[in-house]
Chains A and B, each alone.
Chain A
Amino acid sequence: MRGYAGQFLEIDLSNRNIKETKFPDEVLRDYIGGRGLAVKILWDRLGKKWETVEPLSSENILFVLTGPFTGYFPGTKVCVSGKSPQSNGVIGSTVAGEFGVDLKCAGYDGLIITGKAEKPCYIFICDNQVAIKDALPIWGKKARETIRFLVKKSIEEIKDVRLNYGEVKDPSILYIGPAGENKTRVAAVVAKYAHGAGYGGYGGVMGAKNLKAIVAKGFGPVPDVYDKEKTLNMVKDFSEWSFERENFRRWGTGGGGYYFGAETSSEPVRNWQNEWHDKESYKREEFDKYWVKRYWGDFGCPTTCLKLAVLKTGRYKGAICDNPDYELEAYLGTNLGIFTPEENIYLSYVSNELGLCGIQGGAVLGFAAELYEKGILTKEDLDGIELEWANVEAFAALAERVAFRKGIGDILAEGVYRAALKLGKMKGVDLLKYAVHEKGVAIGAHGVRSEEDFIAENIAYACSVQGGDHTSSASLPFDQGGGELSSILSDSAVFCIFASFGIEDIDKFNFYEAITGWKLTKREWYKKKAPRILHLQRAMVLLGGPDVKWTPILDDDNPPRFWEPLPSGPYKGKTLDRKMFEEARLEYFCAAGWNENGVPKPETLRRLGLEDVEAKLREADLIR
């Protein structure tokens, strides 16, 4: 087996039991790693009782998985997964950083974490020494303090083992902030202050396991590949391709804050009441003024699209974050009526420190602000906070309440969809029309109404098995390359979609073969292997439970707001055409092998070897 370390760690936090485990080659060949493998294991272990598994309980399984590309493909990520407390299905959520490399260098392809620790803990991995350690000193602490503590302590411990080694380099860390500890559904699993696996809500899953962090340090090499020369030559080609995209490297996604508003009318503005703005103050050159590092990247990355922003003066002096990248420019900026880089950087910093997902957290703040604007939520409801648009201090104060589940924050911590249900019940009004989500997942900052965004398709979110996740959106044609089946490849082989923009599928499959020595054809992937993973995800999101359950076709729709016409800008009056949407959705269902309601057909499931899924869907009365 090449490209893999060859073993995984299973850590049962309830019994403090740690063991190494392997998967047969056939399983790795079919499901690769990352998202695909997490989906497979979840189905095998929890599928039968899926509806009863509470995501925020000890019953859930948390996955941190690499893929064969980890450590080789330029730009390294690791995939976090489990039963999602947002969609109640499965989401493959990736986060950048060196963690995946350190894990593989330590000799493991991934972590499968079960149970719940009695007391706050963190997992420490240094090569084959794996321990569950006390996290009480950092429980309740924010990002910077958490990182400082863990780096210092871990280096001391490594030095005790590696005598005379010389300076020990910092280990890699995945952690949660207070938002995760308090089991909010809007918490990310975070690395390096500003990198988060946000979609899915796995920060809360870590919190529910009393797991504050995972520290990994590997002293070994990245596992050998099948064809070293070919692999390294391809890495060189991929890197050179990235080097040529100087515009993207120079500005990252930081230009999006202006571009997606002014040019494509697809940026959330004031809780998606609009998607257009043309605020010059939000141009990339204005953000550049705060960048102390114009190129910031992770292991092996040729793109280094991140920037490091620091506020050196002013009211928010000391705030530090990445660019912010486009999603945060939008969700912690325009979506809250904020159009100045300084305030956006500050709120991103606040969100990072609390361990909130910038998208899910920003969405719920915007949602609350619209309710305040409409008089549905009052100052009293908000513990005295005057939640006017652009009131940065108010948003920061509310974010803190969300992360600590204080006052109204306890409800908002449930994310936009569940908060809309709860508050709607309390207030006796329908609030779902203000909740911009798809299957419980707040939608990425790429609107579909103007049909000008690169995720423009009307079915992008409605038909996705990862709901609002803009990095895994559905598109037509279903199985010809692109769309969600491609996202499954990047999340399973585990590589960065940014560093791989423009790289042909054929090269990805060749790269896979060079690394693993296993042949994978485009046809095999798009006709069988990827659809199999997609169908498992579709089945699990439809099964849902225990607190929410989506109705096929009814819930395979855009949120109500996306059916409202855009109120201003060059695309004023534009919205999606209902008939065209329904036609596209039906075409997608048919192409995927689902019936007219979006339920996988028995013959499709059998063709993919998923007879047990068929049986389960029959039992749940989804297949009749």
Chain B
Amino acid sequence: MVQSDKVWISRNYENCSGCRRCEIACSIHHEGKIWPEASRIRVFMLVPGVEIPHLCFQCEDYPCVEACPVEALFVNSQTGAVNVDASKCTACGLCIKACPGNIPHLHPEGNYIVICDLCDGKPKCVKACQEGRWKALRLL
């Protein structure tokens, strides 16, 4: 039997401290620098005290992948994450419209979409949250 690397990130919004260390960890991993807006997980503060970590949930039917007209999005067969081929992406925004959670967003300085890629099965955001013992993000 082939061991699957599929993981899901579960979130407990009540436990989110709003510290945004997940954004820091994500952007350092993906961008090599602290860059909150380029993070694939973003903490939205609806009102102070209500902080919501917002990231891809890997829908079973992947409507974002379906919606992409240029096949820039594809599902990683190992992890189940949505991967983005930035060279193909035209930043048309159709994947954002297709997403039930409005999750994908443009890279703040590049003309392409960013979506959580689960860090190849070892998400840095979850690690950062677990280190701090807030337990807002957990691996399933």
Contacts and interface: CB of A to CB of B under 8 A. Distances in A.
Interface in B30-87: 31-38, 42-49, 54
Contact of A304 (B17, B34, B45): B17
Given A165-B106, A167-B54, A167-B102, A302 B33 contact: no
B134 interface: yes
B20 A296 contact: no
Interface in A295-310: 295-302, 304, 308
A221 B54 contact: no
A482 to B, nearest CB: 28
A246 B104 CA distance: 36
B7 interface: no
B110 to A, nearest CB: 11
Interface residues of B, number: 43
A335 to B, nearest CB: 25
Contacts, number: 114
Greatest chain A CB density within 10 A among B20, B46, B109, B113 is at B20
Nearest to B93: A164
Q: Is the interface of A mostly helix, strand, loop or mixed?
A: loop
Contacts of A169: 36-37, 42-45
Nearest to A231: B34
Chain A interface size range? 35 or more
Contacts of A176: none
Contact of B47 (A148, A165, A295): A148
Contact of A298 (B19, B24, B33, B103): B19
B104 A193 contact: no
A164 B109 contact: no
A101 B49 contact: no
A374 interface: no
Interface string A201-225: 0000000000000000011111010
Contacts of B38: 221
B132 A243 contact: yes
A304 B102 contact: no
B34 A221 contact: yes
A72 B33 CA distance: 11
B132 A166 contact: no
A105 B37 contact: yes
Given A164-B96, A193-B49, A308-B49, A72 B106 contact: no
B106 A166 contact: yes
B5 interface: no
A239 interface: yes
Contacts of A301: 17, 19, 21
Given A166-B106, A169-B37, A299-B19, 14 more contacts: A144-B47, A164-B106, A165-B105, A166-B102, A166-B103, A167-B103, A170-B46, A193-B49, A228-B32, A300-B19, A300-B20, A301-B17, A302-B21, A304-B134
